[in-house]
Amino acid sequence: MNYRAVALFGPTGVGKTALSLKLAEKNNAEIISVDSMQVYRYMDIGTAKILPNEQNGIVHHLIDVVNPDEPFTAGDFKRFSENKIIDIAKRGKTPFLVGGTGFYFSTLINGIVDIPKIDDNLRERLRKLLSKRGKQWIFRMLELVDYDLSLRLNENDSQRVLRGLEVFFGTNRKLSDFYNDKRNNLDNVSYLKIALNISRDELYDRINQRVDSMVQSGLENEVRKLLDMGYTRDDWGMKGIGYVEFIDYFEGKCSFSEAVDKIKQNSRHYAKRQLTWFRKMSDVYWFSPNDESEIISLVNSFLS
């Protein structure tokens, strides 16, 4: 049996959440979050997580599933989402995939491949290099050997940056090339891919306002609470934008205002990388969030 799913994506702050709720209500849908940070518990403000009282009765999946010190990979996302898509469809509902993590979308829609085991000694040498040279230097190395992968990451995400380097030096092949290979993919699901975008100036203004709202809502206290719980900057979830900058502030590496400015800057850079990634995807319908009637018509046509 063939199933259909709607994928709605776009850069941070563009308005995906509000539109997804309207579309889900009209199409008897359940939403699968496609966000590499919203999977983490206790991280609500900095991830712009939709809270239960904001979900309008729409069932949401893949929110609050692991602790900040637990890894959650693209493979984990793919396995969960494939099972959930079939489950939702078999119950007579529409699976909606909504978020901004382009790598997750690609992994789900295009499939993944098996990557050869990497020698532990190589991994350890790269970790020592990170300790000696720093995360910025390591990220620049990744840009040189696997630029496509570097577009998907930020330099604070040292674990994934190291993963890209160890695959390159351990296999003589870029990790982004492995990701582009199409294997291990569901062949009975069709996806309608809808991307949202607005002018750069408007997007950046929205991002800046969003960060200000996060700060006013207590982002500083959220990060402090996570540290008090025993989580550190080395944990998987704590590498996200908004968290690492406040950790720097707590450690005296920058002022409060500098931390907030850095969050805005890193968020804008992330949005730019997201758009670069989404523009590489094929068969995508691009809209402004204001094109609501056109999007609804397209979704209705696809699902009928």
* Mean pLDDT lowest among 5-14, 67-76, 248-257: 67-76
pLDDT of residue 92: 96
Across 181-195, average pLDDT: 82
Share of the chain above pLDDT 70, in %: 98
Alpha-carbon span 147 to 107, nearest angstrom: 18
pLDDT of residue 12: 97
Tell me the pLDDT tens digit for each residue of 260-289: 999 999 999 999 999 999 999 999 999 999
Tell me the pLDDT tens digit for each residue of 195-204: 999 999 999 9
Structure-token pair, residue 207: 């991002």
Local confidence band at 292 (pLDDT 50, 70, 90 cut-offs): very high
pLDDT of residue 75: 84
Local confidence band at 183 (pLDDT 50, 70, 90 cut-offs): low
Alpha-carbon span 246 to 221, nearest angstrom: 10
CATH of 120-179, one of 3.30.420.40, 1.10.20.140, 1.10.150.170, 1.10.10.10: 1.10.20.140
- Place domain 3-113+181-303 in its CATH homologous superfamily: P-loop containing nucleotide triphosphate hydrolases (3.40.50.300)
pLDDT of residue 177: 86
**Residues of each domain in the chain carrying CATH 3.40.50.300:** 3-113+181-303
How far CA 22 is from CA of 18, 150, 157, in Å, comes to 7, 34, 33
Count the Cβ atoms, other than its own, within 10 Å of residue 298.
16
**Residues of each domain in the chain carrying CATH 1.10.20.140:** 120-179
pLDDT of residue 157: 84
Cβ(158)–Cβ(239) below 8 Å:
yes
pTM (global) more than 0.85: no
Residue with the bigger pLDDT between 160 and 256: it is 256
Q: Running DSSP on this structure, what letter comes out for residue 68?
A: T
Local confidence band at 116 (pLDDT 50, 70, 90 cut-offs): confident
